Structure 1
Amino acid sequence: MHRKCESRRRERINQYYDALFCLLKETALIKAKKGTKIDRCSLIRYTNAYMRELNRSVNTTARLLCRLVTTHKDLACLFSPAHLQFILQSEFVDDDVCLLLASSFNQSYVSKSPRCRGP
């Protein structure tokens, strides 16, 4: 039973790793199209950090996503509802993350999170 739970946890973390990697690539493409200089070092640093965290808890994964949202503001609009729900359940959500997500998503949806203050 323990192996099964561990396998599910690892699979879930790997899904978020894949999603994050796609978001990073998408951000690089968006910046390239806008003629903005791509901060490749930053993207590589976050990807490497994420890979190091794969063996840790899902909350650590959420913390990394929250850090990404606040550092790369253009990432917020790329999150799917599943990513949004995952982030909003995290203990690492703060007011900055809430504001950024609320500006990219439905305000009432974000404010329903116990971690985010209402409008």
Structure 2
Amino acid sequence: MNIEAALSEAMTIDGAIGAALVDYESGMSLGSVGGGRELDLEIAAAANTEVLRAKARALEALRIEDSIEDVLITLERQYHLIRLLDRGASRLFLYLALDRSRSNLALARHTLRNVDAHLAL
């Protein structure tokens, strides 16, 4: 599936507010859907790039030789799910913001894993 279809699939998750495919190196969004007044996806893409970089530095400092699958940020009213994509030299991640009261976190993680598996770049 292409980027547009992948992001559309992510937005079918109950409670989805917005989704983006983000370049980890630059923090720039390669595509996004949703967001609007509730969430600026361009700012979220750049900010969550910094979250991933900080976590990668923490793993290195702790000498944990493992890779990040996803990162969950839990807010009072939202979940923010960041899923790193394994695409060789391309360093990308899927970002999904969810309304916490209308979403199922386990199902959201499962769906993002499926989107990751079918995303063709």
Q: TM-score, normalised by structure 2?
A: 0.31
Q: RCO greater where, 1 or 2, for CA within 8 Å and sep 6 or more?
A: 2
Q: TM-score, normalised by structure 1?
A: 0.32
Query: Which of the pair is proportionally richer in helix?
Result: 1
Query: Highest Rg: 1 or 2?
Result: 1
